[in-house]
Structure 1
Amino acid sequence: MKKRDVNRKAQVTVFIILAIVLVSAGGIAYFLTKNTSPTDKYFLQSDIKPGFDNIKNSVYECMKMTSQDSLDVAGVQGGYYKQPKEFFDLGWAFIPYYYKEGTLLMPTNLQIQDQLSLYVDDNLNSCIESINVSDFGLSYTKPRTKTIINKGEVKFTMDMPITVRKGDKTTQLQLKDNPISIDSKLYEMLEIAKFITENHGKDESVCLSCIEDMASERDLLIDMVNFDTSSTLFVISTNKTLSSPPDFEFLNRYKPLTNLNDITI
């Protein structure tokens, strides 16, 4: 009896794995299978389909990679892609000030969403241009991306139809039908950054134990480093190696003679 139960569990496991594979493949194929026309069916022919599938898969990977890159850049640069008014220039990147001698400068979540969208809009096409299309042709315009920061994820929807050409036949890939969802702690990182920064509006001291509790509740880590004589660098990090961004950084500049020594335990 025990052996039969084990076999049954093994069969169930195999079916689950097969289901996951089929669902994953179906997600990529969704570019074409929705509202398939007679012209579209041309691209499903056995001698055409492999090359067409390669284009679809490559476009999907470009969408995913560009979305992840936008988060990594925004993490290093405190939610920004383009330089804000107040920042420290590292040469290869910049770190924004969220608080500077009495002035609150932290961007809103909506502003950060716009920065992420702008990065994707500026960089997606360069990735698609690198795709090996063989004897196919691609035509497209600049994307219009909408980004939403949710708890535990960031969702990117790219409005950019791509026309695929093969001889005198054409079909379209609708990127907006395949939004990209990236596992991310960005929402939770911004909650901590907001707590730190808004408290400075009342008092430049920081409740260290409060910050540590918030980070622990969200499975995050936080480091505070004396950046210079009057500035503190805050680095919020995730414990998950596959989460984007891995780190989120911003600077707070205090009035002279005020720094980490004034932190409240």
Structure 2
Amino acid sequence: MTALTEDAFLGGRLCVAQPARGYRAGADPVLLAAAVPARPGETVLELGCGTGVASLCLGARVPGLHLTGVERQPAYAALARQNAARNAIALSVVEADLAALPADLRAQSFDHVLANPPYYLRTGGTPAADAGREAALGEETPLALWLDSATRRLAPGGWLTLIQRAERLPALVSALDSRLGNAAILPLAPRAGRPAKLILLRARKGGRGAFRLLPPLVLHAGDRHRSDKDDYAPEVAAVLRQGAALVWPEG
């Protein structure tokens, strides 16, 4: 990894270095961070933190969090540490595979675990040419193992928050087990009347509540893109530009 870009998030509140070629964070980790119901002073673990965008967006919104990220790619882990330092947000980054976490991390539990697992199965499709991008987007570790690792790291009553492609929903739901309850799925639709392409999941360790499929959050206003300016719905623009929390609909 050589060439880097400097990218602004949250309307310029964060400045993040990312590889010019490779996996590049966009709106997805910002939406993920906005969905985490964290409160000041709580502990947070991000599995597969990449360059740190989701954790840093969360840290910018909620003061006083104890943030830890796990990233298996050394170059991305190094960038996450640098990005945390330059934005003055405390983030401890552990270079490890989530399937083989170090003993000291396995001994800890967290109030929140968040993750943006790779979106694409590699039983079909074409792998990305860049190795870093492929590692971030092409599934090697099964989705069920992501959920198991996350659940094991949660304290009783802790919350798992995860973003994933809508087409992976069957695998995601089948990976939920009795350790997690109060599970809710929020579909993210690009425009009104269009199928959701992404979903957000929240579930609570030890929760007793029933599974809920929520009404979709529509990301963009209007029936199509009409100009060079972005056309995010107001509540989505507040998340992406001002670092607001994502308020989940009731249902």
Q: What TM-score range do you get, normalising by the shorter chain?
A: under 0.3
Q: Please give the TM-score of this superposition, normalised by the length of structure 2.
A: 0.25
Give the alignment's TM-score, normalised by structure 1: 0.24
- Specify which structure has the higher proportion of helix: 1
Structure possessing the higher radius of gyration over alpha carbons: 1
